[in-house]
A and B are shown apart, each in its own frame.
Chain A
Amino acid sequence: MAEYAIELKGITKRFPGVVANNNITFSVRKGEIHALAGENGAGKSTLMNILFGLLVPDEGQIIINGKEEKFSSPRDSNRAGIGMVHQHFMLIPKLSVMENVIIGQEPGTSLKIDRKKAVEEVQAISDKYELNIDVTKKVGELSVPEQQRVEIIKVLYRQADILIFDEPTAVLPPHLIDEFCDILLSLKEKGKTIIFISHKLAEVMKVSDHVTVIRRGEVIGTRAICDTSIDEITRMMVGHSVDTGRKSRADIKPGKEVLSIKDLHYTNVEGNEKLKGLDLSVHEGEIVGIAGVDGNGQEEMEKCILGLFKPDSGQILFNGEDMIGHTVKERRDMGLGYVAEDRQKESLVLQYSVAYNLILGQHYLPAYSKHGFWLKKDAINENAEKLAKDYDIRLANIQVAAGTLSGGNQQKIVIAREANNDPKLYVAIQPTRGLDIGASDSVQDTLIRLRNENKAVLLISMELDEILAVSDKIAVIFDGKIVAVVDAATADKESLGYLMLGSKKGGNE
C-alpha cells in the first residue's frame, strides 16, 4: 500500500501570458485532511481542475495511490476515485436529492431505473455519514448548506476515496461552519482522504492535518498543523511586504464626502443576505480601496452603486442625494464613472469601433449628438483621437473594432471613457486584471491622476498589492460589511490579511 493518496510532481500549467501553476509538488497522505491555502488567483483552482480532469497540465505527474494517472475528463478522475464538491453546486433544483445523486450511475436496467433501491442506497450514505438529508426531497427545497451535503453524498455515491472541497465554507453561515467541520472529521474517520481549499484559516487550523500554501502559482511550503500557527500561514500566503510599490501622489486634503453608503442590506434571489449593513464613505480627492476575499459582498455592493441591484434597505448618498430609485442612466448623469469587472462582457461592444465604444453611455450628450438624436461623427472621432493619444491606446485607427485590440488596450478604452465625462465618483473594479505591467501601471496612474484632480475614487480589487499601492484609505470588506478602515500609507499587509480572512487580530472591528 502506498503511503500517499495523491502525489503531485512538478505540475506546470501555462495560460497565454500567465503561468498559473509553476512546478507544483506536494503530497497528500491517505486518510488525512490536507488544506490548500492561498490568496485569490494564487493558482489553487487551476490545480484542482487539473486534479479533477477538467484541465490537462503542460508538465508534471499525477500519482494516485502510487499509480501514475493521466486525466483528460472528469470521468477519468472519477474512475481513479476522486470526487469534487464544487463551490458553485452542480445540482438540478427540480429533481430530488436521490435523482441528483444517481445521475450517470443509475441502479436498475436501462428500461427501468430502480428508484426504490436508489433511495435506499442514497439514504444509507446520508445516514452512514450523518449528513441528515431526506433524499426524497427536491433539491430546490433544501437550504444551501443542505445542498452542499447533497454534493458530498453525490461524491460518496460515486465511491470516491479522495474528496476535493473547493471553498466549502464560503457558502455557509458562520454558525454552520462548526457543523461542517464535524462532517469533514467524520469523513476522515471513515477513511476518506480530503483536500480542503480555504481562505478561512480558523477552519484550516481546526480540521486539517497538513496545510500547503500556494502563492503566485508556486508552492511556498507544507506544514503540519501542529507545528504551525495562523501567523505563519498568513505570512506564507501574503508574502513579506518588501516593497509595496506605493504610488507617489500630490499631497492634498480630501474634500467633501461624495459617496456615503449607510447600513446597506441586500439579499440575493437565492435568499442569502450578501450585504449586512455595509457602511462606506468616499471623499473628494481620495482613493478608497476595498480589500477583501472574493465573494464577501463586493459584487453586490458594486451593483447596488451602479443601480443594477436594488438593496433591501439602507442609503446610497451621492453628494447628499439618495441614488436608490434612480436608473443607471440617471446615476451616470449625476456623475458616476464605472469601470466594470469584465470589460468584454460588461463594458464594451466588441463589434463596435473604438470611437463608438469611447462614447457608450455618453452618446446622447450634447458633445456627441445634436438634440440627443443625430450622432456627431466628427466630434465622436475627434474625441476618440484625443483619448487614444491621452491614454496611449495603441491601434491602427479609431475605426477598428474594439474586439480586435489587446486586453490592455481594451481596458484603456473603458478607463478613458469613464474618466472622460467629468465623473464625481469613479468606481473601478479589478481594473488591472489580466493586464501586463505596462498597462497596469498606466491604469493605476489614471486613478491617481483622477484623485489629484479632486475626484472621489473607489477601487475594488482582489489584489492586495494593488490596493496598497494605489489607495489613500483601505476599507476591508468581510461577510457583507466593512470591518475596518485603515490609512493605506501605514497599513501593513499582514494585518490586512487577518482582517480579510475574518480574523479579529490586527485590527479593530
Chain B
Amino acid sequence: MTISSKQKDILQQFLISFIAVLLSLIVGAVIILAMGYNPISAYGALIKGSMGSLVSLTMTLKTSVPLILAGLAVAVAFKSSAFNIGVEGQLMFGGLCAGLVGIYVPLPGPLHLAATILAGMLGGALIAFFPAILNSSCNVSVVISTIMLNYVVQFFVQYCVMGPFHGATSAPATDPLLASATLPNILPSPYQLNLGFILMILAVVLIYIYMNKTTKGYEMTAVGLNRTASEFSGINVKKNMFMALLISGAIAGLAGGIEISGSLKRMVNGFSSGYGFSGIPIALMARNNPFAIILTGFFFGMMRSGSFLMQATVGVSSDMVGIIQGLVVVFICLENLIRYYMNRRK
C-alpha cells in the first residue's frame, strides 16, 4: 500500500511535534538532573499524579478543559495568520462576565446557565474585538495590541473583583455564583468532571466543522496560507482576520466561563494562571488541528495536574512544567532544521 503525499505530510508533522516534545522532555530531564533530582522518578510522579487513579485522571481532564480551549483559541487566530497572544486576557474577562451574570442576573432554570456561558463568550469576543478593529482599521500589529490588553484586563478584573464586586469573605474573589449558573458535574463524586468538558468537546467539534466543512473556514484558512492568492481570488483578507480574532476571543471567553462556572464557582482574581499562554505551545504542537489540540492540551493538563505530586514527592518545582512549555516552543521553532535532517536521511 502506498501512502498519499498528504498522509505523508501529516505523518511528518506529527513526527516533528513528537520529536520536539521528546527533546523538550530530555532537556527537562537534564535540568532536573542538574538540580539533583532523579528525572525518572520526577516524570513517574508526573504521570502517577495525573493518571494514577480514576480520581486523578478526571482531575487532569478537568484541568485540560481550559487549556484545550485556550489552544483552540490560539489556533483559530493562527489559521488566519493572526497571532493572538491576548487569549489570557480574553479568558479572564470572559470569566468575569460569566461570573457577574451568574451572580447578579437571576434567570429561570437552565436559561441562567446558558446566559452565564454566553456572557463569558461575549466577554472574550469583546476583548478580541479591540485588537481586531485596531488591526483592520488602523493597521496596529495584533501581537502588540493583544498583549497590552492582557494587562488592561488584568487590572480591570482586579478592580472589579477586589472592588465593587468583592465577596463577603476576605478571599480575592466574588460571592459564589447562584446554583442555577453553575455547570453540573457529569460524574458522581468523588470524580470531578463537569458539563464544561462536554462543552469543550462540542467547541472542538464545532470549530473543526467550521474550519473544514464551511466556506468561511475555507476562506480563513486560505487567508492564513496565502494572503496574496486570497486577495486575487476576491476573498476579503481583513474581514477574515477580523472574524478569526472574534471567534478566537469567544473561545477564550468560553474557557474562562467554564472555569468560573464549572470549577471555581465564583470569580477569583487572577484565576487563569497562564492558561492563555499555554495555549500557544498547545496550538503549535497540534499544528492548529482541533482534534490534535485535545491531545496536546491533555498533555499539558497532565503536566499541570501531575506536577503537584511531583513537587510533593520528588521535590521538583511544579514550575518545571513552564520550562518544558517554553522548550516545546523552542524546538517547534527548530522545525525547519528537524525537517531538514529528516529529509536528508532519506
Chain A residues at the B interface, C-beta cutoff of 8 Å: 306, 308, 327-332, 338, 340, 345-353, 356, 360-361, 363-364, 368-369, 372-375, 377, 396-397, 399-401, 404
Could you pull out 6 A-B pairs where Cβ atoms are within 8 angstroms?
Answer: A352-B222, A360-B222, A360-B233, A363-B219, A373-B216, A400-B6
State whether A400 and B213 are in contact (beta carbons under 8 Å apart), knowing that A360-B222, A363-B218 are contacts in the complex: no
Judge if B330 is at the interface, Cβ distance under 8 Å: no
User: Would you give the 0/1 interface string for B13-33, flagging 1 where the beta carbon is closer than 8 Å to chain A?
Assistant: 000000000000000000000
Interface: B319 (CB within 8 A): no
Contact between A363 and B215 (Cβ–Cβ < 8 Å)? Answer: yes
Q: Is the CB of A349 within 8 A of B215?
A: no
Question: Which A residues touch B9, using CB under 8 A?
Answer: 401
Contact B215 A373 (CB under 8 A): yes
Contact stretch, chosen from B95-103, B223-231, B243-251, B263-271: B223-231
Residues in A whose Cβ lies below 8 Å from that of B235: 329, 361
How many A-B residue contacts, CB cutoff 8 Å?
81
B234 on interface, CB distance cutoff 8 Å = yes
**Cα-based distance from A369 to B219 in the complex (angstroms):** 13
How distant is the Cα of A328 from the Cα of B230 in the complex, in angstroms? 10
Task: Determine if B104 is an interface residue (Cβ-Cβ < 8 Å).
Answer: no
A396 touching B5 by the CB < 8 A rule? yes
Determine the distance from Cα of A42 to Cα of B278 in the docked complex, in whole angstroms.
55
Least CB separation from B7: chain A residue: A399
| A369 and B215 alpha carbons, distance in the complex (Å) | 7
A364 neighbours in B (Cβ, 8 Å): 215
Residue among B9, B215, B216, B222 with max Cβ neighbours from chain A (10 Å)? B215
Pairwise interchain contact B233-A361, C-beta atoms closer than 8 A: yes
Asked if B214 is an interface residue, CB under 8 A from chain A, the answer is yes
Contact B232–A347 (Cβ < 8 Å): yes
Taking CB atoms, residues of chain B closer than 8 Å to A360 are 222, 229-230, 233
When the two chains form their complex, are residues B225 and A345 in contact, meaning their CB atoms are under 8 A apart?
no
Q: Is the C-beta of B189 less than 8 angstroms from some C-beta in chain A?
A: no
- Top 9 closest pairs, chain A to chain B, by CB: A361-B233, A329-B234, A328-B234, A349-B226, A360-B233, A346-B232, A349-B225, A332-B234, A369-B215
Known: A374-B214, A399-B6, A400-B5. A328 touches B231 (CB 8 A): yes
> Which residues of B come within 8 Å of A, CB atoms?
4-6, 9, 213-216, 218-219, 221-222, 225-226, 228-236
Q: How far is the CA of A44 from the CA of B145 in the complex (A)?
A: 48
Task: Check B5 against A404 for contact (C-beta < 8 Å).
Answer: yes
Name the one of B6, B215, B236 contacting A372, with C-beta atoms under 8 angstroms. Answer: B215
The residues of B that contact A372 with a CB separation of less than 8 Å are: 215
Contact B4 A396 (CB under 8 A): yes
Q: Is A348 a contact partner of B214 (Cβ separation < 8 A)? A: no
Known: A352-B225, A374-B213. A399 touches B218 (CB 8 A): no
**Is the beta-carbon distance between A346 and B229 smaller than 8 angstroms?**
yes
Bound-state Cα–Cα, A364 to B216, Å:
9
How far apart are the CA atoms of A363 and B216 in the complex, in Å?
9
A396 to B222, CA, bound (A): 23
Contact for A351 among B225, B234, B236, CB less than 8 A:
B225
The closest CB in chain A to the CB of B212 belongs to: A375
When C-beta atoms are compared, the residue in chain A nearest to B213 turns out to be: A375
Interfacial chain A residues near B226, Cβ < 8 Å: 345, 348-350
* A360-B219 Cα distance, complex, nearest whole Å: 9
Question: With contacts A373-B216, A375-B214, A375-B215 known, is A361 near B234, CB below 8 A?
Answer: yes
The prevalent SS among residues of B at the interface is: helix
CB distance from B2 to the nearest CB of A (A): 9
A328 vs B229: C-alpha distance when bound (angstroms): 12
| Contact residues in A for B4 (Cβ distance below 8 Å) | 396-397, 399-400
* Contact assessment for B218 and A308 in the assembled complex, using a CB-CB cutoff below 8 Å: no
In contact, B234 and A347 (Cβ under 8 angstroms): no
A73 to B234, CA, bound (A): 41
Complexed CA–CA distance, A375 and B6 (Å):
20
Task: Chain A residues near B6: list those with CB within 8 A.
Answer: 353, 399-401
Chain A residue, CB-CB nearest to B223: A349
Q: Across the interface, which residues of A come within 8 angstroms of B233, CB to CB?
A: 328, 332, 347, 360-361
Q: Which residues of B contact A396 (CB under 8 A)?
A: 4-5
Closest-by-CB residue of A relative to B9 is A401
Closest residue of A by beta carbon distance from B218: A363
**Beyond A338-B232, A349-B230, 9 extra complex contacts between A and B, CB < 8 Å:** A327-B236, A328-B232, A328-B233, A332-B233, A345-B229, A352-B222, A373-B215, A396-B5, A399-B6
Given the known interface contacts A375-B214, A396-B5, A401-B6, the answer about A349 and B232 at a Cβ–Cβ threshold of 8 Å is no
| A401 vs B5: C-alpha distance when bound (angstroms) | 8
Distance (whole angstroms) from the CB of A448 to the closest CB of chain B: 24
A353 nearest CB neighbor, chain B only:
B6
CA distance A162 to B249 in the complex (A): 60
Shortest C-beta distance, A381 to chain B (Å), equals: 14
Complex interface: chain A residues within 8 A of B216 (CB) = 373
List residues of chain B with CB within 8 A of the CB of A363: 215, 218-219
Complex CA distance for A30 and B222, rounded to whole angstroms: 55
Bound CA span A353–B221, Å: 12
A348 with B229: in contact, given A364-B215, A375-B213, A404-B5 (CB under 8 Å)? yes
Q: Which residue of B lies closest to A342 (CB)?
A: B228
Q: Which residues of A contact B213 (CB under 8 A)?
A: 374-375, 377
| Bound Cα distance A405, B91 (Å) | 43
Contacts of A338 in B (CB 8 A): 232
Residue of B nearest to A329 (CB): B234
The residue of chain B having its C-beta at the shortest distance from the C-beta of A396 within the complex is B4
Q: How close is B3's CB to chain A, nearest CB, in angstroms? A: 11
Task: Please state if B214 and A373 are interface contacts (CB–CB under 8 Å).
Answer: yes
Q: How far is the CA of A397 from the CA of B3 in the complex (A)?
A: 12
- Which residues of the other chain, B, contact A356 by a CB distance below 8 angstroms? 218
Q: Which residues of A contact B222 (CB under 8 A)?
A: 349, 352, 360
Look across to chain A and name the residue whose beta carbon is closest to the beta carbon of B216. Answer: A373
Give every chain B residue within 8 A of A331 (Cβ-Cβ): 234
> Closest CB of chain A to B78's CB: distance in Å?
14
Which B residues lie within 8 Å of A345 (CB)? 226, 228-229
What is the bound-complex CA distance between A399 and B233, given in angstroms? 20
Q: Is the CB of A327 within 8 A of B234?
A: yes
> CA A358 – CA B213 in complex, angstroms?
16
Question: B228 touching A346 by the CB < 8 A rule?
Answer: yes
Q: Give A433 to B128 CA distance when docked, in angstroms.
A: 44
Residues on the A chain within 8 Å of B231, using CB: 308, 328
B214, B221, B228, B233: which has the most chain A beta carbons within 10 Å?
B233
Residues of A within 8 A of B219 (CB): 363
Are A347 and B225 CB-contacts (below 8 A) given A363-B219, A375-B213, A401-B9?
Answer: no
Cα-based distance from A399 to B3 in the complex (angstroms): 12
A331, A348, A363, most chain B CB atoms within 10 A: A363
A360 to B228, CA, bound (A): 12
Q: How far is the CB of A100 from chain B (nearest CB, A)?
A: 28
**B215 and A347 contact, CB distance less than 8 A:** no
A contact residues around B230 at 8 Å (CB): 349, 360
Q: How far is the CA of A117 from the CA of B327 in the complex (A)?
A: 51
Query: How far apart are the CA atoms of A327 and B216 in the complex, in Å?
Result: 18
Q: Is B234 a contact of A340 with CB atoms below 8 Å?
A: no
User: Given known contacts A356-B218, A372-B215, is B229 in contact with A349 (CB within 8 Å)?
Assistant: yes
How far is B7's CA from A404's CA once the two chains are assembled, in angstroms?
13
For the complex, what is the distance from the CA of A240 to the CA of B131, rounded to whole Å?
61
Between A306, A356, A360, A372, the greatest number of chain B beta carbons within 10 A of the residue's beta carbon is seen for A360
